[in-house]
Amino acid sequence: MAFLEISDLRVSYGSVEAVKGIDLHVEKGEIVALIGANGAGKTTVLRTISGLLGAPEQGKIVFDGKDITRSSPNVIAMSGMIQVLEGRRIFQHLTVMENLKIGAYTRKKQKLDSDIKEIFRRFPRLEERKNQMGGTLSGGEQQMLAFGRALMAKPKLMLLDEPSLGLAPLIVREVFNIIRSLNEEGITILLVEQNSKGALQIANRAYVLETGNVAMHGNADDMLNNEEIILSYLGGAWEET
């Protein structure tokens, strides 16, 4: 069985079916991209996997060999799956240091100091701003803080929802480099991204969602170089990275 296995997932908002019976899997060590137009259901899939939307109306979610379909978000987080939400969602009125410590709430409190030092090694700008309020950071710095806070939970799998959204092109490249380096260090990643080109450049495999259905899935490099896929499913043009 795959590290993350999703079978026949269906999710509705009232009478509107947002996710229509999709199958999806992520192998340990992969980066898997979930791409498609706005409103395709990408964020709904992530929030369902992490438990934030509650149990789906149908389907099964298995993570690391355990059925988590009806598990609460805190139980899912403690199992090693951590989501970085769209828009960063850091605590604006807490300091960088306080945000990082909150990221470790699922853990026993040993080794927090050494873990924070490791975050600061990875993101030196956060150490420079460790006593600043989160809301005073730039967009790129807030994304680094969101990554750092997630890493404090020692994740096995990270769900990343639009990490490049609203960032300048230079910072977008840096964010994708960070994602690649996290994966190289052993973290499995399921990535939702509007920047399809950037996502496919770092992913192993990808799924294209279209109005709640999987329209296509396969090797990311093949999708990156397939003009028919670009025209049919990805808007006919690449966003710059």
Separation between Cα atoms, residue 192 and residue 236, nearest integer Å: 19
Domain limits at 52?
Answer: 4-90+158-233
Domain-embedded: residue 19: yes
Q: What pLDDT score does 233 carry?
A: 64
Long-range pairs for 92-95: beta carbons < 8 A, 24 or more residues apart: 92/133, 92/134, 92/135, 93/133, 93/134, 93/135, 94/133, 94/134, 95/130, 95/131, 95/132, 95/133, 95/134
Give the confidence band of 133 by pLDDT, cuts at 50, 70, 90: very high
Q: Is residue 227 part of a domain?
A: yes
pLDDT at residue number 221 = 93
pTM here is: 0.91
The answer to whether residue 35 sits within a structural domain is yes
Domain count, the chain: 1
In a domain, 140, yes or no: no
Task: For residue range 189-216, list pLDDT tens digits in order.
Answer: 999 998 888 999 999 999 999 999 999 9
| Residue 127 forms part of a structural domain | no
Q: Is residue 131 part of a domain?
A: no
Distance CA 37, CA 230 (A): 12
Q: What is the CATH number of the domain that holds 228?
A: 3.40.50.300
Residue with tokens 């100091």: 113
